[in-house]
């Protein structure tokens, strides 16, 4: 399995709501960076921190939050996922959709780093409406 396949499996697990499958390829010291301005902005170290600081918060705060990846680009030790985030913020009921790019870095078949790029203003408008 190549690195792009590993990331495709992560996205497939996300589509199923399979947290264990999402975390499976993460190195124990993975550095996960959410974009500045995003509600969960910052860098999380380790799978447990990513799960608690990002994935679980999204599940608690959003209805029908999806990450629809249109394209996975294989650049060897780097993989890029391009797609769209969407969902409705529970407190406001306001829907948003924003394009997203993820840059994944892998070593030895494990994700060692992740960085997110998205239009954070579109996300924050849904939050501010509450």
Q: Coil, helix or strand for 62?
A: strand
Q: Which portions of the chain are predicted below pLDDT 70?
A: none
Q: Which fold has domain 3-128?
A: Nuclear Transport Factor 2; Chain: A, (3.10.450)
Q: What is the pLDDT of residue 80?
A: 98
Q: What is the pLDDT of residue 130?
A: 73
Six token digits for residue 124:
């924050």
Note the pTM of the prediction, 2 decimals: 0.95
CB atoms within 10 A of CB 70: 9
Q: What is the pLDDT of residue 98?
A: 98
Q: Coil, helix or strand for 34?
A: strand
């Amino acid at each position: 399995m190549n690195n792009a396949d590993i990331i495709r499996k992560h996205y497939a697990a996300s589509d199923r709501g399979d947290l264990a499958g999402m975390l499976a390829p993460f190195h124990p010291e993975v550095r996960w960076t959410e974009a500045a301005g995003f509600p969960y902005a910052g860098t999380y170290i380790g799978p447990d921190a990513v799960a608690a600081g990002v994935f679980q918060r999204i599940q608690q705060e959003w209805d029908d939050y999806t990450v629809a990846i249109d394209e996975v680009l294989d650049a060897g030790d780097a993989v890029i996922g391009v797609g769209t985030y969407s969902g409705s913020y529970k407190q406001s009921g306001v829907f948003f959709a924003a394009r997203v790019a993820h840059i994944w870095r892998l070593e030895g078949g494990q994700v060692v780093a992740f960085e997110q790029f998205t239009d954070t203003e579109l996300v924050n408008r849904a939050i501010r409406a509450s």
